[in-house]
Amino acid sequence: MEAGEEKSKKAGGECFYEVFEEEIHQVIVGNRLFKFGERVAIGASGGKDSSVLAYVLSELNRRHSYGLDLFLLSIDEGITGYRDDSLETVKRNEVQYGLPLQIVSYKDLYGWTMDEIVKMIGLKNNCTFCGVFRRQVRSKFLHSIPSLSKFLQNRLFCFMILCLVEFLKALDRGAALLKVDKLVTGHNADDIAETVVLNILRGDIARLSRCTSITTGEDGPIPRCKPFKYTYEKEIVMYAYFKKLDYFSTECIYSPNAYRGFACEFINDLERLRPRAILDIIKSGEDFRIATTTKMPEQGTCERCGYISSQKWCKACVLLEGLNRGLPKMGIGRPRGNVNGDYKDIKARSTAKTIESKQCGSLDF
């Protein structure tokens, strides 16, 4: 890595962050991530990746006259005791960086908070792990905007999918609500390399062909960009340290290694052996020869909310319907029996009022 060599030759923090910022700038310009005048939402969780991203993007926008209308976009999942703390960090970032902040909550979008969802699931299943996965949810969400890979190895696979699906959908819907042109997330090189490895392990050829794209969803309502695609996580931490940036981080009160997935440890071991392996994995992901004839899930729209979906109903609507009907397990795991029949049944009953379920949040977009 030429930049890496160049970096090692210079001494001190000042040269480091100059090189760091220039690299990000080259990634943005080289990949034509933005156009002049675009309104860009920065997905902000209060963690180090998004805090550094907000700061750097704001600096580069000013220095190189990108002409972008930047603002911070945060999601409030409604996790008591932690999300409110991280949102306080984002509010401070709003003042420090001079960027407007928009907070969208699960409550506003779906009518449910994660606390309420957890409570519902816990009661239905008499789940003795309630405290365990609530704590996991907190520690996972608070580090950074979650990437698929960080959760997939967890034993509570279904629940994590629930949180993840809803979080990502909320992010997109929040951006759609606010009429933005682009959405940027703080996924770094380590995240993307981890995703490549996990998609190989899981046999997901569809995701494997697109998980290294620096811009995804260009056909959808709002493209999603990852300016930190080639940036190591360690560099982000160093940059935050040198710039004394304010970000929220917490470690699980149990052993930090207890909850790390296999792939995450593997990536870390690789990086120790050969630091450039992270970028090599990304290069492999970009170079894979995947035939266009390989069958990919067809993209359509959800019948209910119009969002992108390969099924009749998108995952969020299925989960939401399950919650509203008092069936929180619906949409989790593989459907049993006839999928079409199930959906027809759902559709038939959707007009009927159910007394025990809560009032549905507004889904009119």
Partner 1 sequence: MACNSSGCESGCYDREKDNGSKIVDDAVSGGGNHESVCVKCKCNAPMTFGDGGFDDGRFCADCFRNNVFGKFRLAVTSHAMITPSDNVLVAFSGGSSSRVSLQFVHELQIKALKNYEASRDRSLPVFGVGVAFVDETAAFPALSTEMIDAIEWVRYTVSCLSPPAKDLHVVPVESIFGSDSLDARDRLLKLLDSVPDDTGKEDLLLHLKMLSLQKVAAENGYNRLVLGSCTSRIASHVLTATVKGRGYSLSADIQHVDARWKVPIVLPLRDCVRLEITRLCLLDGLKTVELACRSQCGINDLVSSFVALLQEENPSRECTIVRTAAKLTPFYFNKIPETDDSNVPMATQRRLKRFNLKYDGSMTTEAFCPICNGPLNRSDSSELDTFEEGQESDVLYAACCSSCRFQILPQDGSSLEQFSSFLPDHMISQVKHQKVDSQAYLREKIKDCLLLDDEEVV
- Nearest 5°: phi and psi at 125? -105, 0
Binding to partner 1 (CB under 8 A): which residues in 293-322? Answer: 293-294
Q: Please name the amino acid found at residue 251.
A: E
Residue 160 vs residues 81, 201, 221: alpha-carbon distances, Å: 19, 18, 26
Q: Could you give the CA distance from residue 62 to residue 65 in angstroms, rounded to a whole number?
A: 5
Site string (253-272) toward partner 1, x via CB under 8 A: ---------x---x--xx--
Residue 215 near partner 1 by CB under 8 A: no
Q: Which of 38, 59, 116, 204 binds partner 1 (CB under 8 A)?
A: 204
| 148 interacts with partner 1 by CB under 8 A | no
| Residue among 12, 30, 81, 203 that touches partner 1 (CB under 8 A) | 203
Query: Which C-beta is closer to partner 1: that of 101 or that of 278?
Result: 278
Residue 239 burial (10 A CB sphere; 0-12, 13-18, 19+): buried
Burial of 63 from C-beta contacts in 10 A (0-12 / 13-18 / 19+):
exposed
Q: Which stretch binds partner 1 (CB under 8 A): 67-75, 222-230, 240-248, 277-285?
A: 277-285
Chosen residue from 115, 280, 303, 342 binding partner 1 by CB under 8 A: 280
What are the binding residues for ATP? 43-45, 49, 75, 186, 191
In the annotated binding site, the residues are: 43-45, 49, 75, 186, 191
Rounded to whole angstroms, how far apart are CA atoms 249 and 247?
7
Rounded Cα distance, 194 and 266, in Å: 9
199 near partner 1, rule: CB under 8 A: yes
Query: Residue holding tokens 């001494």?
Result: 11
**By CB under 8 A, is residue 195 in contact with partner 1?**
no
From the list 120, 87, 123, 78, the residue with the least C-alpha distance to 322 is 120
- Near partner 1 by CB under 8 A: residue from 11, 273, 348, 352: 273
DSSP state of 328: T
237 binds partner 1 (CB under 8 A): no
Identify which of residues 254 and 262 has a Cβ nearer to partner 1 in the complex: 262
**Chain contacts with partner 1 (rule: CB under 8 A):** 196-197, 199-205, 208, 262, 266, 269-270, 273-274, 276-277, 279-281, 283-291, 293-294
